[in-house]
Amino acid sequence: MALLEVSGLRTTFHIGVGTVQAVRGISFHVDKGEFIGIVGESGSGKSVTMLSVMGLLPQYAEVKADSIRFDGRELSQMSPRELRSLHGKEIGMIFQDPMTSLNPLFTVENQMVEPLRIHLGMSRERARLRALELLHQVEIPNPEQRLRQYPHEFSGGMRQRVMIAIAIACSPKMVIADEPTTALDVTIQAQILELLENLKREMNTSVVMITHDLGVIASMCSRILVMYGGVICEEGSVRDIFYRARHPYTWGLLNSIPRIHHDSHEKLVPIRGTPPDMLKPPEGCPFAPRCQYCMPVCRRYMAPPTDLGDGHLVHCHLMHPKAPKVERGGLQHD
Amino acid sequence: MARKKKEHVVLRQEDMLRIPDAETYRELPEEQFRICPEDDEAEAIVRPSTTYWHDVWQRFRRDPMALCGLVFIVLMTLAAILIPRFSPYSYDGFFFKSRNLGPSWEHLCGTDQMGRDIFIRILYGARISLTVGVVAAAINFVIGVIYGGISGYAGGRTDMIMMRIVDILTSLPSLLYIVLIMLVLGSNVGSVILALCFTSWIGTARVVRSEVMRLKHSEYVLAARLSGATPWYLLVHHLVPNAMGPIIVSTAFLIPSAIFSEAFLSFLGIGIQAPQASWGTLANEAIPVMMTYPHQLFFPVAFICLTMFSFNFIGDGLRDALDPRMKH
Amino acid sequence: MTEQKRSRVLMEVRDLQMHFPVNHGLLSRKHSVLKAVDGVSFSLLAGETFGLVGESGCGKTTVGRTLVRLYKPTAGEILFDGTDIAPLAEREVLPYRRRMQMIFQDPYASLNPRMTVSSIIGEPMRLQGFPEAEIRERVRELISQVGLKSDHLSRYPHEFSGGQRQRIGIARALATRPEFIVCDEPISALDVSIQAQVINMLEELQEKLGITYLFISHDLSMVSHISHRVGVMYLGHLVEMADMRELYTHNLHPYTQALMSAVPIADPDVAAASQRIVLQGDVPAPIDPPPGCPFRSRCRYCTGACAETMPEMREVSPGHFLACHVKG
């Protein structure tokens, strides 16, 4: 059953030189207890999508949507006040740089106890005990002592654990993790990913993981959305995306990462060109200018989704019955 | 969210993605589905080429107050240069018949106790004020950039010593040495400028120093060092050009403060001396007849105020235009 | 890539140390030393890519910058083509500058925003005193070599995308036809689809021009893709060094093993099958480190010997070097 259902989301930023079309009409859903990944490069709109859903964008952003339903309620009709009460309580958030979301002037205890008191109405004593329990849950050693410290006394990995503890404090229905490990070293990233996996097993929370790293989601997520130029190119289960991808952009992504476990030295296949300028994005498929299978129709229209079964949706004109048959390896002649 | 009140911005049709309806899509002709990627397109740069200064001007232009300030200063400068040349009146002399006249078409701002046209005297005052302001700012700029640049780039012990010298200079009470300089060198424009420049470059120097310290570890500076760039080359080609925004802003705010200081000194009688007309001396001369002929005080003061406002608005506008954080 | 070509030693690094003093403030008598690089030895063969991996703070960037003499090493030798460039003064290094270059991490910070592309690419040559006509010609040649057009030359860096900027950085590094280029995390700031463009370009340039790379990265999968040999660094020390394939299949150091297993694999089946070794704790700060193996605080196999002495680098099999008391 869908916990979050978004349809027709469009987000634009009005800046001095024009209008940036960050998200250009996307629809998706997140099921209860599901671990979903949104992959895309910088400027693909992956972070803006979730921030729009949460109503966390700055004033000069404009969000339009046909509907954003979360747990049966329409978020786009909610007042900023009602939305705020959702944050932290029913939706937890983990950002890339924990230093910007933790207040350097307050101790960790302060920052953990506040949301518990506000959202769950706990007494100071009970909230403190809960905070200790949470720090223990995210495997921070000496929680008693750590609670009294300030954010700058924590290392990057430890800060991210604190952020996770705050995000799950009120047992939210959904956690949004926006590039939670991008700023961390590989071995610390492994620690955090393991922690997230353990939490996933313990709690029945939906997690939306936003990342540019296909490696991170391969082992974590059950379903993946691939975004490019403000639209969803392809969505499907992990196996659909990694082994049965149908969109040339997904192929391009998969081909451009080196595979350490392969013994032979195969050359990488990069995607040519550069990502679109979102001030003037193409009006057809945003990937068309870089796509090696670009057809005239691609420049004119964005492709409607084609359902390949089991929720595997592809937004590509190659799925049209009149289009030539193309596989990941290249053009198929038969 | 959707309830944000921004109704005036409507998504235009051409902004949107074009998605065909099912029937059109099904009926699209065969030739629409032939693979023909274009090679050139992938590297195309869509945005027109703009330089940094062009961008700054575009942002500055959008600030109405700053623009008004700029127009006022330009008009006043032109007037100060041109009008006294073609005017029948002089800033000096004694005209018995036309003493203490009120404002009229003949004398725009009236005349003073000596019968001199106040408007012309204000324009002569503007020459002094603008000269003082611009020259002081220019001197500050040069000293500040060199001092701050060296201090910031050298770092370590050199920087420490240079900054302590600056600290000592700032701790001197300014009125004390200004009066001293004026007494020793005599009251003229040159000594006013010297007195005003004595410590006011420090602000600029501090700005330059912190900018240089921030920029000197940037990768483009490393890249130039890698090819054997000397510290002087780095300062001239990389560090100072990139610190120009904050430097200009701090210099822009120096102009009004120098103008005001000059007027203040002249008002006290230790700056420009009569019969030379400075806005400060004009105001000073009008004090005794303030009750009977208020216009003699009003016009010089009004010019001081308008000039102050204008330069400060320009400074604000420049700061907003040059501040990289304004760039989304 | 022909194996027999790579036999001449271009650069030999012996016991390189780079220590930085840590300031505790003006009045503090405490003197700490940050041992960013603490006794690193390896050699680079002409035409090969030597990968240097490690996490932030391990000293890999410092090694790279010291090799091209952006820093003067505290101790140790850097034999570049037979000459020890480590003790040379800045002026004496100058003739070697055109033979070694660097590609930087951040394509946004490594190009001076106030300079046009053509003056950025031409800068190393200009600093090395090449004639202006030759620079102009070479810049045109370079811009097409990195897949951009010559009408891009008059534009400014902010008009380009990250990948295009990084290619401009590569063109600048190639300008003086260097034999040796330090690539300091050249792709970590780029998007996945662009990373492969840059990596392929670096590989093609190496094939064509025979350049030697020191490829510094935290991303083991990219390092393993591009490098012939790899060195693993931890807290200022090289802990293991071997041929890429050897390191992948027979890695011995516990840190290398953890690093290898921590790399996320973009293949669900392989990821599910592989066992992840999760290290406990964080990397300690390299300020006044205690004696012994730097990795012992996080090592599963730590014994008494590890706390006493830093293990020596020894050859466990031909070309495979290891610094560990326990393994091998």
Calpha distance C202→B94 (Å, rounded): 83
Q: Render pLDDT for A210-255 as a digit per residue (tens, 0 to 9).
A: 998 888 888 888 999 999 999 999 999 999 999 999 999 999 998 8
| Angstroms from A218 CA to nearest CA on chain C | 5
Interchain contact B225–C (C-beta under 8 A):
yes
Interchain contact B42–A (C-beta under 8 A):
yes
Given a contact cutoff of 8 angstroms between Cβ atoms, the answer to whether B199 and B169 are in contact is yes
Calpha distance A25→A10 (Å, rounded): 5
pLDDT at res. C43:
93
Question: How sure is the predictor about B55, in pLDDT bands with cuts at 50, 70 and 90?
Answer: confident
Interchain contact A284–B (C-beta under 8 A):
yes
Given a contact cutoff of 8 angstroms between Cβ atoms, the answer to whether A49 and A227 are in contact is yes
CB atoms within 10 A of CB B328: 11
Optimal mutation site among A153, A238, A261, interface C, most CBs of chain C within 10 A: A261
Residue A303: closest CA among A327, A277, A321: A321
Nearest to A19 among B4, B15, B22 (CB): B15
Burial of B173 (0-12, 13-18, 19+ CB in 10 A): exposed
Q: Does the pLDDT at position B327 exceed 70?
A: no
Nearest to A273 among B6, B35, B43 (CB): B43
pLDDT at res. C5:
59
Nearest to C200 among A194, A242, A268 (CB): A268
Handedness of CA C27, C32, C36, C38 (dihedral sign): positive
Give me the interface pTM, i.e. the ipTM.
Answer: 0.88
Burial of C151 (0-12, 13-18, 19+ CB in 10 A): exposed
C197 φ, ψ to 5°? -60, -50
pLDDT top residue among C77 and B12: C77
Low-confidence ranges of chain C (pLDDT < 70): 1-6, 24-30
In chain B, which residues have their Cβ closer than 8 Å to the Cβ of A79?
A: 3
Residue A219: closest CA among C249, C280, C263: C263
pLDDT at res. B8:
37
Residue B145: closest CA among B221, B232, B230, B209: B209
| Angstroms from B18 CA to nearest CA on chain A | 5
pLDDT at res. C1:
44
pLDDT at res. B4:
38
Q: Does the pLDDT at position B177 exceed 90?
A: no
Provide the chain A residues 154-173 that lie in CB contact (below 8 A) with chain C: 155, 157-158
Q: Specify the residue for token string 């490098």.
A: C227
pLDDT at res. B9:
36
Calpha distance C255→B129 (Å, rounded): 70
- In this complex, do B219 and C147 lie within 8 Å of one another by their Cβ atoms? no
The rounded Cα C97 to chain-centroid distance in angstroms is 17
Given a contact cutoff of 8 angstroms between Cβ atoms, the answer to whether C313 and C42 are in contact is no
User: Would you kindly state where each structural domain of chain B is located, as residue ranges?
Assistant: 109-326
Helices within chain C (DSSP H only): 60-67, 90-97, 117-127, 132-145, 162-174, 192-209, 220-226, 244-249, 254-262, 268-273, 304-308
In chain C, which residues have their Cβ closer than 8 Å to the Cβ of A216?
A: 264
Interchain contact B232–C (C-beta under 8 A):
no
- In this complex, do B228 and C128 lie within 8 Å of one another by their Cβ atoms? yes
- What residues form DSSP beta bridges with A31? A2
Given a contact cutoff of 8 angstroms between Cβ atoms, the answer to whether B69 and B256 are in contact is no
The residue of chain B with its CA nearest to that of C91 is B228
Q: What residues contact A316, with CB distance under 8 A and at least 6 apart?
A: A233, A234, A246, A247, A248, A285, A303, A306
Nearest to C97 among B50, B227, B241 (CB): B227
Calpha distance C325→C305 (Å, rounded): 7
The residue of chain B with its CA nearest to that of A319 is B33
Distances (CA, A) of C58 to B297, C53, C71, C126, C283: 71, 9, 17, 35, 9
Interchain contact B53–C (C-beta under 8 A):
no
**Parallel/antiparallel/unpaired status of strands A73-74 and A67-70:** antiparallel
| Angstroms from C316 CA to nearest CA on chain A | 22
Q: Render pLDDT for B182-211 as a digit per residue (tens, 0 to 9).
A: 888 887 888 888 888 888 899 999 999 999
Residue C266: closest CA among A205, A157, A250, A180: A250
Nearest to B52 among C105, C113, C149 (CB): C113
CA dihedral (A83, A84, A88, A89) in degrees, to 10, reads: -60
**Parallel/antiparallel/unpaired status of strands C237-243 and C320-322:** antiparallel
Which SS3 state, helix, strand or coil, does residue B53 take?
helix
Q: What residues contact B227, with CB distance under 8 A and at least 6 apart?
A: C97, C98, C101, C123, C124, C127, C128, C176
Question: How sure is the predictor about B15, in pLDDT bands with cuts at 50, 70 and 90?
Answer: low
| Angstroms from B236 CA to nearest CA on chain C | 12
Q: Does the pLDDT at position B96 exceed 90?
A: no
Calpha distance A197→B326 (Å, rounded): 40
Interchain contact A269–B (C-beta under 8 A):
no
Provide the chain C residues 115-154 that lie in CB contact (below 8 A) with chain A: none
Interchain contact B231–C (C-beta under 8 A):
no
Interchain contact B325–A (C-beta under 8 A):
no
Distances (CA, A) of C113 to B6, B218, C64: 35, 12, 25
Peptide bond into C268 cis (omega under 30): no
pLDDT at res. A31:
92
Given a contact cutoff of 8 angstroms between Cβ atoms, the answer to whether C16 and C37 are in contact is yes
**Parallel/antiparallel/unpaired status of strands C32-45 and C9-22:** antiparallel
Interchain contact C225–A (C-beta under 8 A):
yes
Biggest alpha carbon distance in chain C? 65
Q: Does the pLDDT at position B139 exceed 90?
A: yes
Handedness of CA A182, A184, A185, A190 (dihedral sign): negative
Domain B109-326 homologous superfamily, CATH: MetI-like (1.10.3720.10)
Which SS3 state, helix, strand or coil, does residue A84 take?
helix
Interchain contact C4–A (C-beta under 8 A):
no
pLDDT at res. B47:
62
- Chains contacting B (3+ CB pairs below 8 angstroms): A, C
Interchain contact A98–C (C-beta under 8 A):
no
Burial of B38 (0-12, 13-18, 19+ CB in 10 A): exposed
In order along its 334 residues, chain A shows pLDDT tens digits of 789 999 989 999 887 777 888 999 899 999 998 999 999 988 899 999 999 998 888 888 889 888 999 988 898 888 888 888 888 889 999 988 877 788 889 999 988 898 888 888 889 899 999 999 999 988 888 888 999 999 888 888 889 999 999 998 888 999 999 999 888 888 888 888 888 888 888 888 899 999 988 888 888 889 999 999 999 999 999 999 999 999 999 999 988 888 766 555 678 888 888 888 888 888 889 999 888 899 999 888 899 899 998 889 999 999 988 888 888 877 665 5
User: Would you kindly state where each structural domain of chain C is located, as residue ranges?
Assistant: 3-99+178-322
Given a contact cutoff of 8 angstroms between Cβ atoms, the answer to whether C212 and C228 are in contact is no
In chain A, which residues have their Cβ closer than 8 Å to the Cβ of C263?
A: 186, 215, 260
Handedness of CA B174, B176, B182, B184 (dihedral sign): negative
Q: What integer best gives the mean pLDDT of chain B?
A: 82
Written as six digits, the tokens of B228 are 């054997």
- In this complex, do C267 and A242 lie within 8 Å of one another by their Cβ atoms? yes
Calpha distance C323→C294 (Å, rounded): 11
* DSSP code of residue C312: P
Which SS3 state, helix, strand or coil, does residue A230 take?
coil
Q: What angle do CA A198, A203, A204 make, to 5 degrees?
A: 125
Q: Does the pLDDT at position B14 exceed 90?
A: no
CB atoms within 10 A of CB C196: 26
The pTM is what?
0.86
- Tell which CATH architecture fits domain C3-99+178-322: 3-Layer(aba) Sandwich (3.40)
Calpha distance A331→A293 (Å, rounded): 9
- In this complex, do C266 and A254 lie within 8 Å of one another by their Cβ atoms? yes
C156 φ, ψ to 5°? -105, 155
Residue C81: closest CA among C53, C45, C118: C45
The residue of chain B with its CA nearest to that of A19 is B15
Calpha distance A286→A230 (Å, rounded): 8
What is the mean predicted confidence (pLDDT) over B145-166?
Answer: 91
Given a contact cutoff of 8 angstroms between Cβ atoms, the answer to whether C75 and C264 are in contact is no
